[in-house]
Amino acid sequence: MKYDNVLNYLDALQMHKIKLGLEAMQSFLDKVGRPESSLKFVHIAGTNGKGSVCAALSEVLCGAGYRTGVYTSPHLSSVRERFKIGSDYITEDAFARLGSKICQVLGKDQITYFEFTTALGLLWFAESEVDIVLLETGLGGRLDATNVVTPLVSVITSVSMDHEAYLGTTLTEIAGEKAGIIKPGVPVVSSAVQPEVAPVVARVATELGAELYSLGRDFDYSVEDDSTWNWRGGERFGVVTINELNCSRSSMIQQENDAVSIAVLHILQRYDFLATESQIRSGLAKVHWPGRMEYFEQSLSCNTERHPESPESGKKLRYLLDGAHNLAGVQNMSKTLAERFEYKKAIGIWGAMFDKDLSGTLGSIMPLLDECILTQPGGERSATPESIYELLSNEQRNKARCITGVEEALQAAQEIAEEEDIIVIGGSLYLIGALRYLLLGDLV
């Protein structure tokens, strides 16, 4: 099968709904010789911050000379973004070859889109003989397709309300699903410290004899007035301090995710994955995680070269893209926008899935926007602009309008914006993927 053939096969799997469970993955991996058994992993679950931790760990470990595989989801514009070794994404040829193998092994058996990509990632990392794999869960943890591995370290980032239809309707229930990645005797690093969440993680860790290293108890961080920050490891980390660290992005919680990454790096030393303080500093200072609190400036003329129908102007516009789509994520986006950016007007482009907390997320971001264009990203779960508009207060409706097409929405925002303004794009990673492509092109 050629690359496009595998893509078409994979896209057809999108018609099948999310199916949590490990049976199909275990059965497939048995048929292909258990590729995961030859690999070493850091397994990462949580509601927000998983990808940021993967990106930070990857930068440091690659800088320390380790061949590092990264598997994340979802992607923005190309499925190949999910698979990376060092700075290199999987090639179309490798994707086609391994995808063809999966199809051949499956025969008439059926798996989900995420199971397919997880299997492909494990096969690619195994044949590429990477030193370590940073493996991000897709949904939850306990029944997630990635939960077929036994890692060197398990990580649970912050936990908040999301995917309630699959994971539970309380933080306690969701925490139980995330904690399902904890394995007997495997150390756990956790920033899931809310009162409803921390006891669940602690209980599971205790039951399985897994050492638990918690933010605020075993390690912590502090941010200075000049935006540098400090990491502190307690007695279990040898009372280590790393001062005057630089953060590569403006997110208000980026230091939290980087602090988790440093804790993981210290534990990985037990397994001879060594990174010096200099390598940690350098790696964290250059982390780039596209579409997540991503800020850039761009002359409008750059965009019109790729899309001539865009507004004709040479003005330089400022953009902040963040795939925040649950309440905790949007609250962080709003706080970051308010405290870390200066601008005359904030112009929003917003689109979301109908099964998200639309009232809560809109209530967080709308007060900060001077104008907002509601649009509709791709995907069968996407909410119409009109349905989002109906959730706004009368005051908020006065500064909002509906434009269904995402490209037209971008053009409208560009026409409104002046150089001292900022265009804020959020609500859905589907929307981020579509608009980032229009602005910057493909990642791969």
Neighbours of 251 (CB within 10 A): 25
Would you state the structure tokens that stand for residue 5, as one six-digit string?
Answer: 């053939």
How far apart are alpha carbons 243 and 224 in whole angstroms?
10
- Residues 6 or more apart whose CB falls under 8 angstroms from that of 373 comprise 347, 348, 349, 350, 400, 401, 402, 403, 409, 412, 413
How far apart are alpha carbons 132 and 39 in whole angstroms?
7
Dihedral angle over CA of 289, 266, 233, 206, nearest 10:
100
Would you state the structure tokens that stand for residue 286, as one six-digit string?
Answer: 């250059």
The pTM of the full predicted model, rounded to 2 decimals, is: 0.93
How far apart are alpha carbons 12 and 18 in whole angstroms?
13
How far apart are alpha carbons 373 and 350 in whole angstroms?
6
Would you state the structure tokens that stand for residue 104, as one six-digit string?
Answer: 């051949």
Q: Which residue has the tokens 């070794």?
A: 85
Q: Which residue has the tokens 């048929």?
A: 31
DSSP per-residue codes, 133-179: EEEE-SS-STT-TTTT---SEEEE----S--HHHH-SSHHHHHHHHG
Q: How much is the average pLDDT of 254-261?
A: 95
- Residues 6 or more apart whose CB falls under 8 angstroms from that of 294 comprise 249, 319, 320, 321, 322, 436
pLDDT digits (tens, 9 = 90+) for 60-76: 999 999 999 999 999 99
Element (H, E) at 425: strand 422-426
Examine the pLDDT at 308 and tell me if it is beyond 70: no
- Report the Cα 3 to chain-centroid distance in Å: 25
pLDDT of residue 20: 77
DSSP per-residue codes, 217-228: TTEEEEE-TTS-
Confidence of residue 443 (pLDDT cuts 50, 70, 90): confident
User: Is 347:372 a contact under the CB 8 Å cutoff?
Assistant: yes
pLDDT of residue 313: 59
| Burial tier of 438 (Cβ tally within 10 Å: 0-12, 13-18, 19+) | middle
Report the mean per-residue pLDDT for the chain. 93
pLDDT digits (tens, 9 = 90+) for 93-119: 999 999 999 999 999 888 999 999 999
Three-class SS state of 1: coil
Q: Which of 122-131, 244-253, 328-337 has the highest mean pLDDT?
A: 122-131
How far apart are alpha carbons 366 and 369 in whole angstroms?
5
- In DSSP terms, 350 is beta-bridged to 374, 426
Examine the pLDDT at 89 and tell me if it is beyond 60: yes
pLDDT of residue 164: 65
CA angle 203, 51, 10 (to 5 degrees): 105
Confidence of residue 380 (pLDDT cuts 50, 70, 90): confident
Lowest mean pLDDT among 5-14, 136-145, 243-252, 277-286: 243-252
Examine the pLDDT at 156 and tell me if it is beyond 80: yes
pLDDT of residue 314: 76
Examine the pLDDT at 309 and tell me if it is beyond 70: no
pLDDT digits (tens, 9 = 90+) for 399-439: 999 999 999 999 999 999 999 999 999 999 999 999 999 99
What is the spatial order of strands in the sheet that 83-85 belongs to?
A: 88-89, 83-85, 68-71, 132-136, 41-45, 153-156, 188-190, 212-214
pLDDT digits (tens, 9 = 90+) for 160-174: 877 666 678 799 999
pLDDT of residue 127: 98
pLDDT digits (tens, 9 = 90+) for 2-43: 999 999 999 888 755 667 789 999 999 999 999 999 999 999
Calculate what percentage of the chain has a pLDDT beyond 70: 95
pLDDT of residue 311: 53
How far apart are alpha carbons 393 and 88 in whole angstroms?
46
Calculate what percentage of the chain has a pLDDT beyond 90: 82
Q: Which residue has the tokens 């018609």?
A: 15
Over the Cα atoms of the chain, what is R_g?
22
Q: How much is the average pLDDT of 193-216?
A: 97
pLDDT of residue 17: 63
pLDDT digits (tens, 9 = 90+) for 346-358: 999 999 988 888 9
Three-class SS state of 368: helix
